[in-house]
Amino acid sequence: MPLITKKEIAELHEINQDNCISIFIPTHRGGKKVIQEEDTLSLKNQLKDVKLKLDKKGLNGDAINKLTKPVQDLIDDSSFWREQSDGLAIFLADGYLKVYTIPVYFMEFNYVSNSFYLKPLMPMFVGDGDFYLLSLERRNVKLYDCTQHSFTEIVIDDLIPESKRDRVGFDFEEKNLQFRSGGTGQAGQAMYHGQEAATGARKNEIKKYLRAINDGIAPLLRDESKPMLVAAQDPIFDIYKEVNTYASLKEGNITTDFSNTDIFEIHELAWEKIAPLFDQKRKDKIAQFLSEQGTGKTAIGIDKIIPAAINGKIDTLFCENKADIFGDFTKENSVITVTQSEENNNTISLLNVAVIKTFLNGGDVYLIDKEDMPNKNSRANALFRF
């Protein structure tokens, strides 16, 4: 299940109050920085800044403390900080609180306005990928349905042999049929600890086991086409390729010391390997933007982009990741007027508006560095559908 859904983005966007507070901080899954409460300190600093902004808006101390108490409660909850990922997003309004622990690294940031700031969440929805990960660890065969930010185990225990003994009739561990990492025999053949090259009977026995795994999961994958990566030592992967029937199996396996690597690390290694495949769409859209500049099918000014986003005209929006554009807009008789100005208590993030309207109307949004923007003269570039 996605960590945050498009429906939830829409629900957050619908909240409109005088003081909608958005807070983003980077967090850590464990280690020294958690022990030293660095994440807690980050949230304390952001809350302090939020209180200053609320004070400038005219709220008194009691009202500020009452409104922000849910955030203070999180700061004081030591158990909460032991269950973190890479980023924390908090959305707070009067009588409303949503907290998301998300595997996206956020810059420390807060925003106080009449609606929530949702732009930093967009990486969860574009280039996120969708792929299978098959782990052929000696004692633990698992299949996962993955994206960049999540993985879900697909239970296959009743579809595959419980062990090599079940399939080939004896225990491979007892016969020392373990692959030597990096070891090869003649002509590049895999070697076993204390055994001959991976040919003949022993290789056939392993091939029977791996074929049983392939045949067991094949019905699940019959109508699928998304790519599959395999995590296994090289000799095991070489044999698995011989029995594999899934057309979208990718070349190149993930190798690691399974005894010292958990599924979170294996998933990260898998994404590093497969990410270029899913980044191609972004590259293609940039190329399309560049080829269609000057034809009326692109825009770089926020005054043109806001109306297009609201009207569902934008196919793809590129935004400079660490930038913003402030101001306001009005809509009268179907005419949308955009006014840019310096950030103050009466302005909103126009870039946030453009991002969310594009996203909710079915467009793709990419947050990218300035040097990667199609047109570097603007903090927002839009490619139109028509």
Residue 83's pLDDT is what?
85
For residues 96 and 185, membership in a common domain is answered with no
3-class state of residue 349 by DSSP: strand
Q: Residue 47: give its domain's CATH number.
A: 3.30.960.10
For residues 155 and 112, membership in a common domain is answered with no
For residues 157 and 222, membership in a common domain is answered with yes
Which regions in the chain score pLDDT beneath 50?
1, 165, 168-198
pTM exceeds cut of 0.85: no
How buried is residue 190: exposed, middle or buried, by Cβ count under 10 Å (0-12/13-18/19+)?
buried
Of 239, 257, 278, which one is at a domain's C-terminal end? 278
Residue 201's pLDDT is what?
77
Of 124, 150, 182, which one is at a domain's C-terminal end? 124
Contacts of 18 (CB under 8 A, 6+ apart): 57, 114
> Rounded distance, CA 183 to CA 94, Å?
64
Residue 183's pLDDT is what?
42
Residue 273's pLDDT is what?
95
Q: Is residue 77 part of a domain?
A: yes
The DSSP code for 139 is: T
Residue 202's pLDDT is what?
81
For residues 164 and 274, membership in a common domain is answered with yes
Residue 36's pLDDT is what?
66
Q: Residue 346: give its domain's CATH number.
A: 3.30.1330.30
> Rounded distance, CA 72 to CA 369, Å?
33
Structural domain including 251 reads: 131-278
Contacts of 374 (CB under 8 A, 6+ apart): 286, 289, 290, 293, 318, 381
Q: What is the pLDDT of residues 269-308, one digit of tens each?
A: 999 999 999 899 999 999 999 999 999 999 999 999 999 9
For residues 243 and 111, membership in a common domain is answered with no
3-class state of residue 256 by DSSP: coil
3-class state of residue 340 by DSSP: strand
Q: Is residue 344 part of a domain?
A: yes
Tell me how far the alpha carbon of residue 273 is from its chain's centroid: 15
How buried is residue 98: exposed, middle or buried, by Cβ count under 10 Å (0-12/13-18/19+)?
middle
For residues 139 and 119, membership in a common domain is answered with no
For residues 256 and 328, membership in a common domain is answered with no
Q: Is residue 22 part of a domain?
A: yes
The DSSP code for 83 is: S
For residues 267 and 293, membership in a common domain is answered with no
For residues 258 and 152, membership in a common domain is answered with yes
Q: What tokens does 339 get? A: 């006014």
For residues 19 and 85, membership in a common domain is answered with yes
Residue 168's pLDDT is what?
47
Torsion of CA 222, 226, 231, 236, to 10 degrees: 50
What is the number of domains present in the chain?
3
DSSP string, 208-274: HHHHHHHHHHHHHHTT--S-EEEES-HHHHHHHHHH---TTBPSS-B---GGG--HHHHHHHHHHHH
Q: What is the pLDDT of residues 69-100, one digit of tens each?
A: 999 999 999 999 988 888 999 999 999 999 99
> Rounded distance, CA 88 to CA 23, Å?
8
Residue type (1 letter), 196: E
Q: Residue 265: give its domain's CATH number.
A: 3.30.420
